[in-house]
């Protein structure tokens, strides 16, 4: 099991950023959330002068045995095909990643099929999870290994100079696993959090709800133990995503969360070390119904809401330029003094007779 040492936020750096923002050539608060984001980043980075480029994107790929229970619109072999598409640069995350100049890595942590592309990091723990309706998704040791793989892959990416981390995922059946994990952590009724995923029918949706409910009731995951939850109803890529987040926080690197699966993985990371949440910024609110529950539990405000639900890290990549705008604001805007612009006059009415 990995051991992490996540530093506390630097509140003084945040105060300095807030005070400096008040001297910029704008009314205080007029740039709204951008000003708040700059302060959040300063606390994470420990300095008022901010840098979040280049961003790094880690996409973890894995399969889910629960697909055998009729919960997905696509067959399992689509996972390995999507990995190939990503390697060739044709997926949405490639498009948006290129737009923001991201460093990129896709990792096979549990794809059921053979992944032959050399560009994929080969970290397969097992060829997909078990169907958690009838068996454990994985052993506890495999859950611990998944988190460790994500941690080491993120460490390698961060060692290359990445200043902001985006984690994504690919794997048929992953919204079913995420729903089960979310239900285990929050106690939410599966009927309120299970969505239509890749576009299943109403009949499949009812089946998906039933599978999640029965699995959680049968295995009774410990809601305070991330590894117990992962081993019973989770996914290999979810463990890896959680591990990557822990590595980023340990290195004071902001984590720009994606949608439903990513946020549920963030909840797992938070169970391992609550301080990791201090380094998370939520990019968007997904159209998946369970995402709102996950957002409320992790207590983060999304930057945008675009009705996205693709995963892969796409929502975070799309929102990254907004985070970058907050950095440019505090790094590059002139102050009232440097620009020779008169500041706000103090109200002197109290001294008038």
- Residues with catalytic roles: 312
Q: How far apart are CA 236 and CA 171, in angstroms?
A: 10
Bridge partners of 189, per DSSP, are none
Does residue 17 sit in helix, strand or coil?
Answer: helix
In order of 11, 62, 79, 148, 287, the CA distances from 112 in angstroms are 45, 7, 8, 20, 28
Q: How far apart are CA 265 and CA 237, in angstroms?
A: 9
- In eight-state DSSP terms, residue 137 is S
Of the candidates 211, 209, 217, 238, which has an alpha carbon nearest to the alpha carbon of residue 226? 238
Backbone dihedral angles phi then psi of residue 24, each to the nearest 5 degrees: -75, 160
- In eight-state DSSP terms, residue 255 is E
Q: Does an H or E element contain 269, and which?
A: helix 260-272
Does residue 281 sit in helix, strand or coil?
Answer: strand
Q: In what order do the strands lie in the sheet with 164-170?
A: 121-122, 103-110, 55-62, 164-170, 255-257, 280-282
Contact of 211 with 103, CB cutoff 8 Å: no
**At a CB cut-off of 8 Å and minimum separation 6, what does 267 contact?**
181, 182, 185, 294, 297, 298
Does residue 168 sit in helix, strand or coil?
Answer: strand
Give, in degrees to the nearest 5, the angle at Cα 237 between 173 and 233: 60
Contacts of range 296-302, beta carbons closer than 8 Å, 24 or more positions apart: 297/185, 297/186, 297/267, 298/263, 298/266, 298/267, 298/270, 300/257, 300/263, 301/33
């Amino acid at each position: 099991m990995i051991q992490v040492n996540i530093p506390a936020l630097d509140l003084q750096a945040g105060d300095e950023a807030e005070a400096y923002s008040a001297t910029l050539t704008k009314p205080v608060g007029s740039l709204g959330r951008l000003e708040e984001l700059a302060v959040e980043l300063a606390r994470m980075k420990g300095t008022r002068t901010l840098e979040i480029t280049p961003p790094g994107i880690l996409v973890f790929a894995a399969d889910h045995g629960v697909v055998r229970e009729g919960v997905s619109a696509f067959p399992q072999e689509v996972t390995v095909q999507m990995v190939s598409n990503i390697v060739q640069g044709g997926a949405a995350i490639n498009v948006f990643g290129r737009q923001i100049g991201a460093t990129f890595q896709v990792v096979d942590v549990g794809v059921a099929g053979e992944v032959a592309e050399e560009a994929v990091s080969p970290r397969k723990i097992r060829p997909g999870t078990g169907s958690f309706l009838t068996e454990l998704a994985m052993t506890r040791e495999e859950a611990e290994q998944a988190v460790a793989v994500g941690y080491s892959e993120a460490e390698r990416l961060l060692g290359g100079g990445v200043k902001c981390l985006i984690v994504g995922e690919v794997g048929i059946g992953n919204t079913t696993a995420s729903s089960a994990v979310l239900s285990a952590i929050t106690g939410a009724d599966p009927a309120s959090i299970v969505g239509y995923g890749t576009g299943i029918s109403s009949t499949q949706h009812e089946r998906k709800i039933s599978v999640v409910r029965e699995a959680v009731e049968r295995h009774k995951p410990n809601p305070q133990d991330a590894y117990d939850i992962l081993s019973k109803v989770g996914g290999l890529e979810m463990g890896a995503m959680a591990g990557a987040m822990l590595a980023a926080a340990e290195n004071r690197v902001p984590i720009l969360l994606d949608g439903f699966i990513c946020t549920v993985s963030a909840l797992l990371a938070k169970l391992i070390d609550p301080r990791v949440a201090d380094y998370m910024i939520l990019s968007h609110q997904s159209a998946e119904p369970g995402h709102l529950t996950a957002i409320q539990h992790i207590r983060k405000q999304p930057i945008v809401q675009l009705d996205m639900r693709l995963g892969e890290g796409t929502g975070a990549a799309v929102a990254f330029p907004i985070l970058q705008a907050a950095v440019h604001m505090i790094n590059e805007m002139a102050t009232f003094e440097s620009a020779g612009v008169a500041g706000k006059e103090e109200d002197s009415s109290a001294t008038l007779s």
